[in-house]
């Protein structure tokens, strides 16, 4: 920050903004631009003096400011704002720390309890599996939607339409109760009696399977649209150039289009994943012991509702924070070539901040 300011400040001031000396200098009309000349002739005062103007006609000698000291611009209101916000943050922190009803002791006690950690692992497992499967299926749906076949397009459209318009809760309960609708699931040749195998639906669809199925299909419907949007944002000329070079279709999608589409896909995709982390808590309706359900079970027993909700919340915060860091670096990876120069990572920024400050301090000695 401060290094940027000083770099700007070091730029030599433009001649026209320097303080004027005499109105007589205006008559010399040595101002560089036409506009400046006009202003000068009207006000008769707004003209350069730097280095002293030679009499009319001769060339101006460039002024030398190299011995001047640079004073950084001051931002008093920024400081006022910072102080006000800091005060607010402090107040909130104080109340959190001192109000005994938050029961931080209980939070600490349960935070790493075995059952809570097990629930956390289940949450992570559900998120990872349905996140990955959801995006893979979403990618296929997006390609179908962009294909030239009307059948593929309408199948993909209908899929998104159905899964985006039914509540996830209903989907989950439907999957879990599939055994009620279809007692047996079998694989065979349609419209004949040939069956390769047959299973009881209830043995196939466990709580876990129902949770994964529901979350995945729902996620796929949303991811498909995100990925399709990203693909559409890539310039048509890219595909044309790749085709003209004889690059095969699959390679065109994966090597040329997708990496560029990723820039548009990633921010929304991470939104979705973070939403999914917390969204998995909805599978408590299946009595599936992920983080949220586990916490519920505990507070129903101990009646320490608030601190246990805090335990779950803090874990969600931790996961989201870790994901945000991933997001930052993955986005940075895909911005390769899209920005002229990659922005510095926070780590590099900090290093640079200290390096430049060390230098200025040494200078000012």
Partner 1 sequence: MTATPTPATRGLVEITGVRKSFGATEVLKGVSLTVEPGGVAVIVGPSGSGKSTLLRTINHLEKVDGGHISIDGKLVGYEIRGQKLHELREKDILKQRTEIGMVFQNFNLFPHLTALENVAEAPVVAQGRSKEEARRRGLELLDRVGLKDRAGAYPRQLSGGQQQRVAIARALALDPKILLFDEPTSALDPELVNEVLDVIRELAKSGTTLIIVTHEMGFARDVADTVVFMDQGQIVEQGTPQQIFTNPQEPRTRSFFSKVLEPAFNI
User: Which residues bind to partner 1, rule: CB under 8 A?
Assistant: 235, 237-238, 240-249, 251, 255-256, 259-260, 334, 336-341
| Least Å from the CB of residue 265 to partner 1 | 14
Q: For residues 314, 315, 316 and 322, what is the CA-based torsion angle, rounded to 10 degrees?
A: 110
Taking the least distance from each CB to partner 1, the nearer of 173 and 239 is: 239
| Least Å from the CB of residue 267 to partner 1 | 17
Angle CA 115–119–120, to nearest 5: 115
Taking the least distance from each CB to partner 1, the nearer of 195 and 336 is: 336
Taking the least distance from each CB to partner 1, the nearer of 52 and 337 is: 337
- Residue 336, judged by CB atoms within 10 A of its CB (0-12, 13-18, 19+), counts as exposed
105, 41 in Cβ contact below 8 A?
no
Taking the least distance from each CB to partner 1, the nearer of 91 and 241 is: 241
| Least Å from the CB of residue 344 to partner 1 | 17
| Least Å from the CB of residue 13 to partner 1 | 30
277, 318 in Cβ contact below 8 A?
no
The dihedral built from the CA positions of residue 9, 10, 14 and 20, taken in this order, carries a sign that is positive
| Least Å from the CB of residue 328 to partner 1 | 18
Q: Which spans in 44-102 are helix H?
A: 76-98
The count of other CB atoms within 10 Å of the CB of residue 131 is 20
Taking the least distance from each CB to partner 1, the nearer of 128 and 249 is: 249
The count of other CB atoms within 10 Å of the CB of residue 257 is 20
């Amino acid at each position: 920050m401060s290094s940027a300011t000083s770099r700007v400040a070091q730029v030599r001031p433009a001649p026209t903004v320097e303080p004027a000396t005499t109105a007589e200098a205006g008559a010399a009309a040595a101002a560089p631009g036409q506009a400046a000349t006009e202003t000068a002739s009207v006000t008769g005062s707004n003209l350069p003096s730097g280095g002293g103007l030679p009499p009319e006609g001769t060339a101006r000698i460039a002024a030398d400011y190299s011995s001047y000291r640079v004073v950084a611009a001051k931002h008093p209101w920024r400081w006022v704002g910072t102080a006000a916000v800091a005060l607010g943050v402090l107040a909130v922190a104080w109340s959190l720390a001192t109000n005994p009803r938050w029961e931080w002791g209980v939070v600490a006690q349960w935070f790493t309890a075995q059952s809570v950690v097990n629930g956390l692992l289940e949450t992570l497992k559900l998120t990872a599996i349905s996140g990955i499967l959801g995006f893979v299926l979403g990618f296929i749906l997006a390609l179908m939607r962009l294909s030239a076949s009307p059948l593929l397009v309408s199948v993909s459209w209908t899929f998104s339409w159905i899964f985006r318009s039914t509540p996830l809760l209903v989907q989950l309960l439907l999957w879990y109760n599939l055994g009620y609708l279809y007692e047996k699931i079998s694989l065979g040749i349609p419209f004949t009696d040939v069956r390769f195998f047959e299973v009881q639906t209830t043995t196939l669809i466990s709580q876990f399977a129902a949770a994964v199925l529901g979350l995945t299909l729902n996620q796929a419907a949303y991811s498909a649209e995100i990925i399709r949007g990203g693909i559409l944002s890539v310039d048509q000329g890219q595909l044309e150039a790749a085709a003209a070079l004889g690059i095969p279709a699959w390679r065109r999608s994966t090597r040329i289009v997708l990496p560029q589409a990723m820039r548009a896909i990633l921010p929304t995709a991470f939104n979705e994943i973070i939403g999914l982390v917390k969204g998995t808590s909805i599978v408590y309706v299946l009595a599936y012991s992920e983080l949220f359900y586990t916490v519920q079970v505990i507070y129903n027993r101990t009646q320490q509702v608030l601190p246990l909700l805090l335990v779950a919340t803090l874990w969600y915060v931790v996961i989201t924070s870790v994901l945000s860091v991933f997001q930052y670096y993955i986005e940075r990876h895909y911005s390769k070539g899209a920005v002229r120069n990659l922005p510095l990572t926070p780590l590099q920024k900090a290093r640079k901040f200290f390096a430049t400050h060390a230098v200025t301090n040494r200078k000012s000695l």
